[in-house]
Structure 1
Amino acid sequence: MSLSYDVFIAEPIPLNVRERVPNGDERRFSPLSITLVYGDRDAVLVDPPLTRNQADDVARWVEATGKNLTHIFATHGHGDHWFTAGLLAERFDAQVVASAGTIEQMRRNVAIRPQFWDALLPGQIPDAPATATVPDGNRIDLEGHELRIVEVGHSDTDETSVLHVPDLDLVVAGDVIYNGVHQYLVESKDGGVDAWRKAIDIVEGLRPRFIVTGHKNKDLDDDAQRAIAETRRYLDTVDELLPQHETARGFFDAMLERFPALLNPGAIWSGALALRPEKTP
């Protein structure tokens, strides 16, 4: 018995934000990567998406494989990585699992949902209580193959984790690593960037050949070394450029000039506003 994996990309969707990004772009959510790790009969879904419509698309994708979905795993507490977990778990009679730290962050995201998530996507997100449980030993068994939940601390939010699949040389990295998409920096103040680097070091120490990132340009491959290097370079550039710019707009423009090919400049604009709030023009 051998394992395989496949990735579904949920395309960017518009947000309920009237103001455009300074470069003129409409405010949109970054593309979401949903990963299916599967054997001969069974499968594990990683990071279910955000909205009902996205969940329907993912459900049809899973059903088309003919696999029996046993577990749904969330890498971290941001709602775009688990708000439809309950919906999909009911549909497939699967168990929702996460690390203990992630479950605490899930509860925090439920608490801020009315003023944040539902404000961005009114009427599009299903009811989503934090009902995940911690599997024994932070392990998921998939047809005799061990899938390991590895806790890495802060990345683009607190208490994040990744799923290590040793038999595939694969890490499903959530938002610890990005792949062709601007990184979410809103929670990166007060040492957050340095903590994020430590999380990247943990992922690199697993020695994966392949990494599926939580936000990915669908035209890019899953090469682990490239994705790790580019995520590090982005954080290094933040440390380089942020002290040079006193305004959110100045920092945003500098990052956009340095990374013109990355998707969703709205993400770096949100980060710029968080990192330079008192200087926002």
Structure 2
Amino acid sequence: MSNLKYDVLNNRRNGVTRGVPEDTKDLQWVSNTATLIFDDDNAVLVDTYMTRSANQELIDWIKSHHVALKYIYLTHAHADHFFGAGMIKASFHGATIIGTRATADGIPAVMTPANIAGTWEKLFPGNLPSPIVGVDEVVDSAFDLDGHRIEIIQDGFTDTHDTTSLWVPDIKLVVAGDATYNGIHAYMQETTLNARSNWIKVNEHLKTLKPKYVVAGHKNPENSDDPVIIDQTIKYISDFNRLAADAKSAESLYQDMLALYPKYINTGSLWSSAHAVIRG
């Protein structure tokens, strides 16, 4: 029997999308997950948070597990997943930030001084982590935690370019990153129809692994890590594609999706996605 375990911390923060109708005000928040995979001695952290205060909470949570942090794995180059890596590393000497070549290459454009000052500091004034850094070491298909193989799944374009998921066969765990969502509106703003078709195929592949647990990169903290969220993500993207094909306006697409998913959080993501896909 494997001594490997996992634990998930959810960070809840207000949505940053402007102009979202007030009738969904109670749903206009977002939750990121950070996943700790650990044995009796060492751990790998999968993804970090956006703000300094949230990452301090993450640091304290990791310390409560009384293990040495060996790796910080970044699933992709979205700021809300990698901004805290430098702050986490500074608190756990010996930790190495790892990611694929595509993640390593994608991060610098997001963390330019102009982007940080012009975008992120305005959204989260005085609360960005420091330092904001990139990947230390590039990994390709897998890495090892004390003899436990952790496999990297190259997802391609899901909610952004070059995303990845992790498969931990010893405990039948998928840490999906942004390939799979859980009770939260998926971020479609960067996607095309082809990208969303690939996104569906990615989740179909994750199903073939027959996981026991699936941790989504974004989830309603009240929800479990039941693998059913893979099918739910496939259905959500399929519904979005079907409704977008006939939508007369972004507002009508938004309302049609709300009717199907009235309890999903982060309606700001749906609002921005609808406006990105339906122009004019």
Percent of aligned positions with the same letter in both sequences? 31
CA distance in 2, matches of 1:138, 1:82: 20
After the TM superposition, which of the residue ranges 112-121 and 44-53 deviates more from structure 2?
A: 112-121
| CA distance, structure 2, for counterparts of residue 229 and residue 141 of structure 1 | 29
Contact between 2:177 and 2:217, CA under 8 Å: does it hold in 1?
yes
Which structure 2 residue ranges, 5 or more long, are not aligned?
Answer: none
Partner of 2:132: 128
Whole-Å separation in 2 of the counterparts to 1:174 and 1:242: 25
CA apart distance, 1:88: 0.3
**What is the aligned-residue RMSD (CA, Å)?**
1.9
Amino acid corresponding to residue 91 of structure 1 in structure 2: S
- Mapped to 1, the partners of 2:125 and 2:250 lie a distance apart of 27
Counterpart Cα distance in 2 of 1:212 and 1:163:
10
1:137-180 Cα distance to aligned partner (Å, 9 max, x none): 53222121111122111110010111111101001001100011
Which piece of structure 1 moves more, 211-220 or 109-118? 109-118
- Output the TM-score relative to the length of structure 1: 0.92
**Structure 1 stretches of 4+ moved >6 Å:** none
The number of residue pairs the alignment matches comes to 275
Give the match for residue 189 of structure 2. 186
Instruction: Report how far residue 14 of structure 1 moved.
Output: 4.8
Question: For 1:23-76, what per-residue CA distance to the aligned partner results, in whole angstroms no more than 9, with x for missing partners?
Answer: 352795510111000001111100111110000000000111111111000111
* Aligned residue runs from structure 1 range 109-120, under 5 A: 109-111=110-112, 112-120=115-123
Q: Is the 8 A contact 1:14 1:26 kept in 2?
A: no
Does residue 73 of structure 1 match 2:73?
yes
Contact 1:20 1:26 in 2 (8 A): no
Matched-pair contact (CA < 8 Å) for 2:183–2:219: yes
Aligned residue for 2:204, secondary structure, equals helix
Contact 2:150-2:169 at 8 Å conserved across structures: yes
In the alignment, the residues of structure 1 paired with residue 183 and residue 234 of structure 2 have an alpha-carbon distance, to the nearest angstrom, of: 13
Unaligned runs of 5+ in 1: none
Match of 2:250 among 248, 262, 265: 248
Equivalent residue letter for 2:82:
W
Asked whether the equivalents of residues 49 and 84 of structure 1 are also in contact (C-alpha less than 8 Å), the reply is yes
Which amino acid in the other structure matches residue 103 of structure 2? Answer: T
Structure 2 CA distance for partners of 1:177 and 1:121, relative to 1, 3 Å: same
- The farther-off stretch of 199-208 and 237-246 is 199-208
